[in-house]
Structure 1
Amino acid sequence: MAPKILILDDHMLFCQGIERILLEQFNSEIDIINNPKEVILNEVNNYDIVLVDMDMPGQKGYDFVSTVKETGNKTTKFLIVSMHNKPSLVKKSIESGVNGYILKDDPLEVFTEAITAILEGGEFYSERVEESMKYLTLETIILSPREEQILKYIAKGLNANDIAEMLYISVETVKTHNRNIKSKLKIENRAELIKYAYKNLLT
């Protein structure tokens, strides 16, 4: 039986290219959705595998996978297909329950190998992603959820007073978190914090 595949990506040209490959290589039944907010979560159960972009409108790829998993879905497989190869993003994807992670500029044979391996019940991470995974303990498990939350607000241009008001905490608490974030990341100024937030999709 031909696998039923959902492509979840906001770049239409990329989706159409992937669709042609899947039709040729796997004779698949394929649906394309460009916005994760348009996905009816219960219907994800109908797919054998979902190809998920990391950086989509309104939601990160790993957040989408986590949300689907929370509905009780245990059968659908998930493959992140992304242009981002940051250890922190790979870690969050693994924690969300994905079955694999490859890059959009990986060779075609890597893509087809990943689909085959995952449909057969395995996992698949491309060679370059596996290389990034070696640095997980160095670059991840660094910021607490609260620190990530504050960093997101900093990247949006909010000051300590604004953040304190939004999170119902004191300004001094915000400043303490800010100092801790800079210390952990070995960053000295706001511009570098914002750059880090964008590189790690914390915006």
Structure 2
Amino acid sequence: MRIGIIEDHQLVRDSFKKLLELQQEWQVIIETCTVSEAKLAVEIEQPDIFIVDISMHEGETGLAFLSYLNSYYPEIKTIVASMYDYEPYVSNALSLGAQGYVSKRSASEALIDAVNSVIKGGRYISEDVKFNYKDPSNKLALLTPREKEALPLFAKGLNAKQVAQQLDMMPKTAHVHKANIYQKLKVSNSFDLLKIAIDNGLIALDELA
């Protein structure tokens, strides 16, 4: 298996290379410290998988490189290895095509498992990252904090004026929040909204008594 690494810290890059090449028939064919270097390298030779850091001292971030690979080389699988193991970095990376995400704090234990999983078509998120990550398959992750506050109120049947009073906002703003909630959650009535609120623990059944 051929592997690329984009990481701007030499010691980390060397450590990853040594760890990966301990595996039989795994070879690091690209080592770069900037996105521009990585783009040039991948035009010449394409690895099977790329290990990507997010933060770069110079130029574009690793997220920009994920977007580039997703657009021009979608067959190259990608794993983010970063100290930024919390939102919104994780969701942003996954939305840009990353199939794996590991924290640098646990990379020495998780990286091999991540590569093995991703190369077989799976997704891998290390345990410490999972603690901070809100799965985007959960549509509630699409809501803003203010929309999440308004959701249970609308789910209980309150109108926009009543929600506005409770949340100290203009009725017009409450109307906008309601429209956004319905659109993002793909619901058309308060009954469906109530079900989502209950299923996600935003409303307890005894509140409805």
Range of TM-score over shorter length: 0.5 to 0.7
* Candidates 23, 32, 56, aligned match of 1:25: 23
Flag structure 1 segments of 5+ consecutive residues without an equivalent: 144-203
Please state if 1:62 is matched with 2:63. Answer: yes
Q: Which amino acid is the alignment partner of residue 37 of structure 1?
A: S
* Secondary structure of 1:59's aligned partner: coil
Distance 1:84 1:59 in 2: 16
Distance 1:27 1:41, change over 3 A: closer
Distance 1:45 1:101, change over 3 A: farther
Q: How does 1:1-203 map to 2 (within 5 A)?
A: 3-30=1-28, 31-39=30-38, 40=40, 43=43, 46-56=46-56, 57-71=58-72, 73-106=73-106, 108-134=108-134, 142=144
Q: Which amino acid is the alignment partner of residue 86 of structure 1?
A: Y
Distance 1:101 1:141, change over 3 A: farther
Q: Which amino acid is the alignment partner of residue 61 of structure 2?
A: K
Distance 2:44 2:132 in 1: 29
8 Å contact kept, 1:7–1:50: yes
Distance 1:18 1:41, change over 3 A: closer
Q: Which has the larger radius of gyration?
A: 2
Flag structure 2 segments of 5+ consecutive residues without an equivalent: 146-209
CA distances 1:28-82 after superposition (whole Å, capped 9, x unpaired): 22121111111227527711000000101222222211122222x2211000000
8 Å contact kept, 2:102–2:126: yes
When normalised by structure 1's length, the TM-score is 0.62
Between 1 and 2, higher relative CO (CA 8 Å, sep ≥ 6) is seen in: 1
Q: Which amino acid is the alignment partner of residue 58 of structure 1?
A: G
Q: Structure 1 vs Structure 2: percent identity of aligned residues? A: 25
Distance 1:14 1:99 in 2: 21
RMSD: 2.4
